[in-house]
Amino acid sequence: MLFFFTDLLVLGCINAIMVVGLNLHYGYAGLLNFAFYMYVAIGAYIAAVTTMGSPTFPGVTYIFGWTLPWWVGLILGGLVAAAVSVVIFAFTVRRLRSDYLAIVTVSAAFIMLNVVNSFTPLFDGGTGLFNVPPITGNLSISSEGYSLVMLAVTAVILALFVWVSQRIFRSPFGRLLRGIREDEAVTTAFGHASWRPQLWIFVIGSFMAGIAGGLFVLYISAWNPGAFLPIESFFLLSSLIIGGSGNYWGAMLGAFVVIEGLAELSRYSPTFGNPADAGAIRAIVIGVALILVLRYRPEGLIPERWLRWYRVGAGNVVRRFPALRRNVP
């Protein structure tokens, strides 16, 4: 019973890290990234191959095969994800409008999936990686104990990232991002090069995704292409929008309730016919919830907060011109 809760909490924390990262992209900067899970997958693969040593099973092949300490592998995973995001940003985000950006990012995710699946020397193809060593090393520990250890690690990292998001939100940098999100022409007219803050936020968010992926693989000890289908990115985005984009509390609520809560509910819901139907029902529920939230509460369950000085200073303007208020996600 204890294991059930700690397991749930660890996965919840990992998902929350992802959604908090996605919130930086979509909530703070308005960058519609439909392939966020790609960075999670990159982080997971890099963290795995840099810590698990050279291949021991016959037929298993992957690059690197280093035996770095887990935390070095984790950070490397985050850095590689961030580096890839710089390339993606340079080629796409600056050039394309939102719908094209969505198409290009999803296409890129499909390519990564296809290449990883078919090109076995990279990450062992469709079979994927397994036996990734736990962060406790050779220490003999029960799975309950390990989930407790991981809970501590993921909770600390989640808290750190939430703190970072909070600092960003309140900083001039965060304000500038919101300005760009609302109206790029205005911020440009005030002399801000809008790509620079967007690039930074894109990189920071992708770094968080890479870290989340690394934690994921260190916890479940295996990773394969089935783990990062494009639909996962859509789940993350849905949970962010339902929870409340632009607000890290909303992001965490979305991660815990929408992803974890529904996953568990559907696991215990009465199954009629095929047990695989539970996943389908969960996705339908998420789809309906997403549309209802967009329709009746577009700001999400916990809306973006307006800081005090907004109300004192710019608040009057906002009150007089409701169109300035961000009322649609």
Partner 1 sequence: MARLIEAVGFGLVTASILALAAVAVSLQVSVTNFINFAYGDFLTFGAYIAWTTAQHGVNIFLAVLLGGVATGLLGIAANVFIFRPFMRRRVRTVTLLIAGVGLSFIVQNGITLIWSTEPVRFNVTLGNSFNIGPLVFTPGDLLMIGAAVGLLALLHVMLSYTRFGKSLRATSNNIDLAQACGIDSDRVITITWFLAGLLTAVAGVGLVLQEGTLDPTTGFVELFIIFGAVILGGIGKPYGAMLGALVVGVLTEVSGMYVNSAYKTSIAFAVVIILLLFRPQGLFAGSSKTS
Query: Which residue ranges make up the site for partner 1 (CB under 8 A)?
Result: 30, 32, 34, 91-92, 95-100, 102-104, 106-108, 110-111, 114-115, 117-118, 234, 237-238, 241, 274, 276-277, 279-281, 283-284, 286-288, 290-291, 294-295, 298, 328-329
Q: How far is the CB of 137 from partner 1 (least distance, A)?
A: 37
Q: How far is the CB of 306 from partner 1 (least distance, A)?
A: 20
Q: How far is the CB of 86 from partner 1 (least distance, A)?
A: 16
**CA separation for the pair 80, 123 (Å, rounded):** 15
Residue 56 or 274: the one with the smaller Cβ distance to partner 1 is 274
Residue 82 or 282: the one with the smaller Cβ distance to partner 1 is 282
Q: Which of 114, 148, 119 is nearest to 134 (CA)?
A: 148
Q: Helices 70-88 and 36-51 sit at what angle, rounded to 10 degrees?
A: 140
Q: Which of 82, 46, 88, 81 is nearest to 65 (CA)?
A: 46
Residue 91 or 306: the one with the smaller Cβ distance to partner 1 is 91
Residue 77 or 244: the one with the smaller Cβ distance to partner 1 is 244
Residue 291 or 324: the one with the smaller Cβ distance to partner 1 is 291
Q: How far is the CB of 176 from partner 1 (least distance, A)?
A: 20
**CA separation for the pair 42, 208 (Å, rounded):** 12
Phi-psi region of 248 (alpha: psi -120 to 50; beta: other; left: phi over 0): alpha
Task: Measure the CA angle with vertex 240, ends 247 and 105; round to 5°.
Answer: 120
**Which own/partner pairs from 53-58 qualify as long-range (CB within 8 Å, at least 24 positions apart)?**
53/133, 55/124
Residue 53 or 230: the one with the smaller Cβ distance to partner 1 is 230
β-pair partners for 223: 129
Task: Measure the CA angle with vertex 320, ends 316 and 323; round to 5°.
Answer: 115
Residue 35 or 209: the one with the smaller Cβ distance to partner 1 is 35
**CA separation for the pair 230, 116 (Å, rounded):** 14
Q: How far is the CB of 49 from partner 1 (least distance, A)?
A: 21
Q: How far is the CB of 75 from partner 1 (least distance, A)?
A: 30
**CA separation for the pair 194, 197 (Å, rounded):** 6
β-pair partners for 123: 62
Three-state secondary-structure class, residue 126: coil
Q: How far is the CB of 152 from partner 1 (least distance, A)?
A: 34
Show Cβ contacts of residue 300 under 8 Å, excluding neighbours closer than 6 positions. 240, 241, 242, 243, 244, 245, 246, 247, 250, 254, 293, 329
Residue 34 or 248: the one with the smaller Cβ distance to partner 1 is 34
Residue 78 or 254: the one with the smaller Cβ distance to partner 1 is 254
Q: How far is the CB of 199 from partner 1 (least distance, A)?
A: 17
Q: How far is the CB of 107 from partner 1 (least distance, A)?
A: 4
